[in-house]
Structure 1
Amino acid sequence: MGHITKSSWVPSVTLRVDAEGVEPAALLLGADGRVRGDADMVFEGQPVHPSGAVRHEQASLVLALHEVEAAVERIVIAGVADGGTLTALAPDGATVASYRVPGSPDATAVVFAEFFRESGGWKFGGVGKGYGSGLAGLVTEFGVEVAEAEESSEPAVAGPVPLTGVVKMPGQAPSADGAVVSAGRFPPVDGAVVHGGPFPSADGAVVSGGPFPSADGAVVPGRPFPPADRPYQLVEGWEFGPVFEAFTITGDDDQVVTVDGRVPPGPVLVEAAHEDRGYFGVFPLNSKNKDEEYLFNTTLPDFTGSSVVPAPEGRALRLRVRADRRWAMRVKPVAAARRLEGTLRGYGPEALLYTGGVADLQVHFEGDEDGGGYVGIWCHEVAGHTRLTDQPTLLLNRTEPQRRTVPLPEGPLLLLYKADGPWTLTVDGLDR
């Protein structure tokens, strides 16, 4: 189907990729030719990659090639179609690559082309491979697990398929008894595999969802409201906090959540999402069933965030949720939080793990919708500790948009980052 053209160099800038009325999808692949997690598929139903480097916008894909993570070797462009012409445009509107795939009556989905690394840059190559099994069969070839379609008398609607999870989640972490637990899957007592995980993450983990800053500084709408259960991975070698099977719950108004017995005492990660606009707050309850200091207290639209709270000894962790809209929450090991290295983007508060040496941290906080907002960073040095330090180091405490540099001590560190809008963090290591 189609023909293979000689590959050509493309500039490592932000490109817009269109495919003649087709809703395109991008698959970010590692050196093994497979996705690392379900966040590595960007399409209409999941429009922002955790790194922010690949986005789906208005029936197009935006690829910031200069921001793609080093672990990504190829970006495959596909769509629900039997053919068509794929075009990649530079920021000035000039066409830098184009490839035509002739239609075929046997194909319902097609891989149009791919971008791949070579000699420190990026090349474009046409592929033109059709799939009679549709997009579901296409993405399965690259390591994506697709949900089984339910039987229905209604005709099938062409478009992106629902995803239940993705294979190829590397890394391992020790469990409490010393056994090795594969990242992203925690076997309960009965041996069944249960998925949990971030709303999604980068460097393996997940960036909190919500708007992300584009290359020109504009805010891009985030992914849709996350499902209650998604895979995640642990940061390899991180030893702070217990390892356990994730706990997930959803709701649509005020509720008191009692976390079940799968969550042991010690510091745990809490991720939360709140749909649309309105107020969202989460408050741990103490032994007297009274609110303690809040975990989340926000009116950010399409909020997603994470923080760390100590699960108490001798009783269940209880959280009071106040919400105007639908929400989801996950309680997971701290080791499942996103790792801070290189450049990281996010939206709202997030718990971050730092395992590098002394460094400078460049902070760019874009502010909230009204041009204000708060940004703060608390640093917990966790080496040799089993609980959060009573007096963490306050690295940043400001209001309004900021561009600042703060010093980081040597890791391992747990950074509790609080922000009322989109942000970018860049780690600059220091030579010693």
Structure 2
Amino acid sequence: MGHTSESTWVPSVTLLVGVGNEGISALLLGADGRVRGDADMVFEGQPVHPSGAVRHTRQSLSLALHEVEPEVERIVIAGPAASGSLAAMAPDRQVVVAWLIARPDDAKAVVFGEFFRESGGWKFTGVGKGYASGLAELVTAYGVEVAEEEPVVETAAAASANGPVPLTSVVKVPMHAPSQATPGGAGAPGSTGWAGTPGASGTPGASGSAGGKGRKSWADAVGEPVAPDPSVFPPAAREYRLLEGWEFGPVFEPFTITGRGSDVITTPARVPAGPVLFEVAHQSGGHFAVVPLDRRNKEGASLFNTTVPDYRGSTVTPAPEDRPLRLRLIGENDWVARVKPVAAARRLERTMAGYGDEALLHLGGAADLRVDFKGSPGGGGSIALWVHEVTGQTELTHVGRTLALNTSDRILQTVPLPPGPALLLLIAEGPWSLTVRELGF
């Protein structure tokens, strides 16, 4: 059935995934390893997920990993049994996953592999598990119930040659308690391990934007001359659907890079001038900092400076107009860094939780914001909240900027927010939760 691949990091961008046959399908799974309903299956007969993050196109799947709903922990890639390779290609046409699939002896459907969340990013692992009764048996294992009146065996046999089972009579199955994580799958909720071999393609330690020398072409990876579908990689203005009323910061294709230890990174030309969202995740403990470099290649004020274990954070920083954005990362372990449009930041809605620094978008009206800060794991810790009103602004300045909160230790406090659109920069040394209550006037 093939071999089990070590988990490898993949960039959180739109990936084109193919396995060399027309029956490729995707199952979007929650933390319990099961679909939430029939909408969480994407295949030829149901080509678009309601979120728009997963699409079936020709013989491939388009996975916009940066748009996948937070409730989705894993995306399983499955289809009729066939030999060949599973490949995933990034928008810059570099193949970030290439995994050999052996011809199964007794299976009619196969789970080729899965993408899963870890430490704020996404990984891929090969699976190669076969199902003798076909796709109906396969999807049932993930919480899909196929109506009994359907001729499951006969349909599955036909699907082996002609495509997926037409899952038109699928109903939602009651959720079960999460089972223990399986090897190669996503860990239990809260898992922060960084598996993978440093230096391997797509893993922390590889330099560049999830690419590298010696990678196979897309055609070689899927075993046939398949040209990428241009609709999978739409123009940047559609790739990041601008939120209504949000016009702060340029829109562009995101940039992802992985590494280990201290290094200097330079963004490519596709990152234009203006405020951009910068996200980072750092493995384990030790000191970790990110410092921008100026025109003279000298360090400015730190964007991040922390000793928090398994740190994840985001902020907004300006990309220069006449040169690339350059950043010095100071750390001891594996890290992942991403540069995205500000429009990709999380939106402040209802109650949300987080840990550490984060950039948030406020698009509602005037509101009261309830802040619950738990303090740092070792006690103490501080939290601050800057509110930037961005209407008519092209950069972060003192105009329309308010320091809404600045305190130490644990707090439970309510602060007023002006109407949006506004950018909130939260700086915290520990876990927090925010509850927004609009005033309605």
Partners of 2:119 and 2:262 in 1: CA distance: 31
- The residue aligned with 1:398 is 407
Counterpart of 1:239 in 2: which secondary structure?
A: coil
Contact kept in structure 2, 1:361 and 1:406, CA below 8 Å: yes
User: Residue type of the partner of 2:364?
Assistant: G
Return closer, same or farther for 1:112/1:429 CA change in 2, 3 Å cut-off.
Answer: same
Q: How many residues align structurally?
A: 280
Instruction: Give me the whole-angstrom Cα distance separating, in 1, the residues matched to 2:407 and 2:165.
Output: 44
Of the candidates 345, 353, 369, which is equivalent to residue 353 of structure 2? Answer: 345
Q: Which residue of 2 aligns with 1:270?
A: 278
Counterpart check, 1:239 vs 2:270: no
**Amino acid paired to 1:236:** L
Q: CA deviation at 1:369?
A: 1.3
Q: TM-score scaled by structure 1? A: 0.55
SS in 1 for 2:137: coil
Which is worse superposed, 392-401 or 31-40?
31-40
Counterpart CA distance in 2 for 1:404 and 1:360 is 10
* CA distance in 2 between partners of 1:35 and 1:293 (Å): 42
Give the letter aligned to residue 257 of structure 2: I
Distance 1:314 1:106, change over 3 A: closer
Residue 310 of structure 1 is matched in structure 2 by: 318
Match for residue 110 of structure 1 among 137, 140, 163: 140
Task: Tell me the CA shift for residue 279 of structure 1.
Answer: 1.6
Deviation, 1:250, is: 1.1
Counterpart contact for 1:28–1:40, Cα < 8 Å: no
Report the equivalent of 1:186: none
- The unaligned stretches of length 5 or more in structure 1 are 1-22, 51-79, 83-102, 115-124, 143-157, 163-209, 213-219
SS in 2 for 1:335: helix
Q: Give yes or no for contact 2:366–2:419 (8 Å, CA) kept in 1.
A: yes
Out of 378, 381, 385, which is 1:373 matched to? Answer: 381
Point out where structure 2 has 5 or more consecutive residues left out of the alignment. 1-30, 42-48, 54-67, 75-113, 121-128, 169-181, 196-201, 204-208, 211-232, 234-238
Which residue of structure 2 aligns with residue 336 of structure 1? 344
In the TM superposition, what is the alpha-carbon distance from 1:127 to its structure 2 partner? 7.8
CA distance in 2, matches of 1:356, 1:236: 12
* Aligned residue runs from structure 1 range 26-425, under 5 A: 26-28=34-36, 34=49, 36=51, 37=53, 38=68, 39-42=70-73, 46=116, 107-108=137-138, 110-111=140-141, 113=143, 220-222=190-192, 224=194, 233-237=240-244, 238-390=246-398, 392-425=401-434
Give SS of 2:140's match.
Answer: strand
Distance 2:312 2:440 in 1: 35
Mapped to 2, the partners of 1:368 and 1:140 lie a distance apart of 51
The one-letter code matched in structure 1 to 2:440 is D
**2:305 is aligned with what amino acid?**
N
Q: Which residue of 2 aligns with 1:69?
A: none
> Following TM superposition, by how much is the alpha carbon of 1:281 offset from its aligned partner in structure 2, in angstroms?
0.7
SS of the residue corresponding to residue 41 of structure 1 reads: coil
The DSSP-based 3-state class of the residue aligned with 2:343 is helix
> Is the Cα–Cα contact under 8 Å of residues 136 and 146 in structure 2 kept in the other structure?
no
C-alpha distance in 2 between matches for 1:140 and 1:415: 46
What is the Cα-based RMSD across aligned positions, in Å?
Answer: 4.2
Q: Which amino acid aligns with 2:137?
A: A
TM-score with structure 2 length normalisation?
Answer: 0.54
1:376 maps to amino acid: A
